[in-house]
Structure 1
């Protein structure tokens, strides 16, 4: 038989001792080839024993360089089988002359190509074209920046208008809320005054009907006047009620209620000449109109 173009023949018994149960018929050269070409994990499972000639033939069959073949043969020696150290990693394979010339030629070609490329990259035409490309890229970037700024300005203006509009709406809402609160308070006061005015009218009518004849009646009338004055002060200062001027004033449909019209030498036409029931306002808003008689002249 043959393996890799190398004749296989029995050379020594030592090579046949590797893994006696499994490699009983393995020839010496094949065993040596396994030793030379095996990985670390594989050699850990095989006794690395072979003779000088086996190792030499195995290294040549595997295509090892002459330096590696000689190193392995020297490690085995002429005395026969011995343990072979892993010298392949320690001895660098010497490149063949053909390989060296090819490598030098390739390196020279690469250097020439690099010099040629550098020369092309340095020509005015190439640099001019590169400058145009860079200028176009810069123009595109400036256009994008300008567009982004325009969009930002537009958004800023839009949000500024929205903010102004929202601020105006809020101010209007706050003013409207304040006005509504004041209106509600004023309506509540007017309601209280409207319900209290009949009581005040009774006081006024009672005061007008009293004619004190003696000191005791005068004292009672004085106490009544004091009570009436305190009540009016509370209504005017506390609730803001004001009495409407009627007699001698020109008739006003907003403040006066004309009960009748009569001739008068004292007042001109369309002027109030007499008041039948006083009227009141509260902070400029009518509580009750004054009942009056209007002069016809």
Structure 2
């Protein structure tokens, strides 16, 4: 079904420093809004298609430099240390040296409550260092799937030593920076459905020598029909203005009916304009839209 799949990969990045870090303590920074990502790829899909979105956060990394905090030593790991022993050494260093928490938050909608997903401990390691945030903080059994309306955010937790840009060495606070960069992938599986048209509209319109808007643009248009019911030749065209009805018109003699084949890709969704060379004519318009 590869021919019926749309895929998009893109990145996002943010810089947080002493000038804006405090803003995100009470009002988390939204790193990624899944719905916006999905909408950007689905907005122009023909309404005859049903689709399902699969969303993946492929990578998320924080690049940290916080010299305003006293330096914390690296844990002394040995090759023979078990995972539990390494974790115990790391927690001992974290508990005895200045630190702050980098909160990773999730919520199910734009207005829902933020829920903490993880809170890596950040300390000054004496140089810029990199923290991979997906594994282990946002991963369960290697699965990194987000719902369509999920949002990923970041905030800070003060453990008593201040947050980014709020450490003990005043002269170095301006250098505290944190860069977050992520990469995501969206896949849309498309299913062509024979959807039943609804909202059928029928109008008669008097058309004169100046272009007249017969019907507005309609992305959900399923069918339309034009009938020239007068005794004067009708000129009509598609577009955002009536210029095509003048420069590149379809010509319809009196009494003629026109309707395109009801085949995917052949139903125009633009606005439709019409005019006559002289006098007036009456035009019958029939338009149906998909549900």
> TM-score per shorter chain, which class?
under 0.3
Highest Rg: 1 or 2? 1
RCO greater where, 1 or 2, for CA within 8 Å and sep 6 or more?
Answer: 2
Name the structure with the higher helix share: 1
TM-score by length of 1: 0.17
TM-score by length of 2: 0.17
